[in-house]
Amino acid sequence: MLAEFDLIRRYFMSSQEAATASNGVTLGCGDDATLLLPPAGQQLAVSVDTSVVNVHFPHDAPAFAVGHRALAVALSDLAAMGATSRWCWMALTLDQREFADDEATHAWLTDYARGFHALNQQHATGLVGGDVTSGALSIGVTVMGEVPVGEALTRSGAQAGDVIAVTGALGGGAGGLALWQRGERDLSHPLLSRYLLPQPRLAAGVALRGLATAALDISDGLLADLGHLREASQVGAVLDLDALPLADGLEDALGRNAALQAALCGGDDYELLVTLSADNVSEAQQRLAALGLSLTVIGRCRRTLGVSATDKTDISGYVGWQHFSGEAP
């Protein structure tokens, strides 16, 4: 069994050293704490996220996806603030006794680190510290980024009359999970990829600064996360269910009704849910189109609290989607 220091050095140091060189970190992994010189005139945005085996991802998920996903869900919180990402810390809890032998441990860690690093590099995020300990597989990720003072996107700025919009497509996370539970294992399948390799919308969050009145990322499901936004902003909402952008292949895989339920309640999509003045929709769509991303208007905020559908569908019927819990549904 590798000691913590050896393990960090072997699998995670090379990218850390590169990050140290490029990102103004005074002291990275290997001392008691990381030393950073924060940028002047910027706010720091910080988020922590824990991913637990059999709760947030299946025990037999590919290690590459486990590494990618643990980081992605944390970065997604920065995206939702309109912040950039600069640094991260990884607390890996790993039971090496779960592996048949050292070779299996090595293979898993190599693949895991590859997934974590690839996404880090994509977003120029430096892994600057961490912790490795023994126990049931779990990954705690702390991410830190920057946003100019006063420009962060919060949950509380939505106003009655604002339109409600989402980036990308919905339901892919839940659809991918359903496929995984049916035995599908080809990660090139778009729905599986949406579930196991979600893409944090960092560039979109930055592009929406100055336009979005409120934002959050869809992790618990559209209705649940819209509920958080409505509560923080003290507004109600009316949704056009026919306008919901469903993930490619979702209706084919699940049928119309379950597809709609996945989009409304499934979660794990990590798209941004934003509100903005109707006057700004076109500008926002253009900015996101330049990033290869759609922005779809799905409803409107109103003064009357609560949520309903434009076609009078009883939205309360779309509840009870079970997130992954280690059991097939």
Please enumerate, by residue number, every residue annotated as part of a binding site for substrate.
56, 268, 321
> What residues are designated binding site for ATP?
130-131, 155, 219
Per-residue tokens: 130: 């961490």
Round to whole Å and give the CA distance between 169 and 166.
8
| Opening angle at CA 297, ends 292 and 298, nearest 5 | 125
131 — phi, psi (to 5°)? Answer: -160, 135
Nearer to a copy of itself, 113 or 147 (CB): 147
Per-residue tokens: 240: 């056009």
Nearer to a copy of itself, 80 or 284 (CB): 80
Residue choice 2, 13, 18, 27 for contact with a copy of itself (CB under 8 A): 27
Give residue 156's identity as a one-letter amino acid code.
Answer: S
Question: Scanning the structure block, which residue is given the tokens 């001392």?
Answer: 31
Stretch that binds a copy of itself, among 103-111, 116-124, 136-144, 276-284 (CB under 8 A): 136-144
Draw the binding track, 203-232, toward a copy of itself (x: CB under 8 A; -: no contact): ------------xxx----------x---x
Site residues (CB under 8 A) for a copy of itself, limited to 266-285? none
Nearer to a copy of itself, 21 or 35 (CB): 35
Contact 269, 208 (CB under 8 A): no
Contact 40, 165 (CB under 8 A): no
> Judged by CB under 8 A, does residue 31 bind a copy of itself?
yes
Residue choice 48, 278, 290, 305 for contact with a copy of itself (CB under 8 A): 48
Contact 148, 46 (CB under 8 A): no
Round to whole Å and give the CA distance between 166 and 241.
13
Round to whole Å and give the CA distance between 175 and 168.
15
Site residues (CB under 8 A) for a copy of itself, limited to 78-107? 78, 80-81, 83, 89-91, 93
Q: Which residues bind a copy of itself (CB under 8 A)?
A: 5, 26-27, 30-38, 40, 43-50, 52-56, 77-78, 80-81, 83, 89-91, 93, 128-131, 133-136, 138, 140, 142-145, 147, 149, 152, 154-156, 215-217, 228, 232
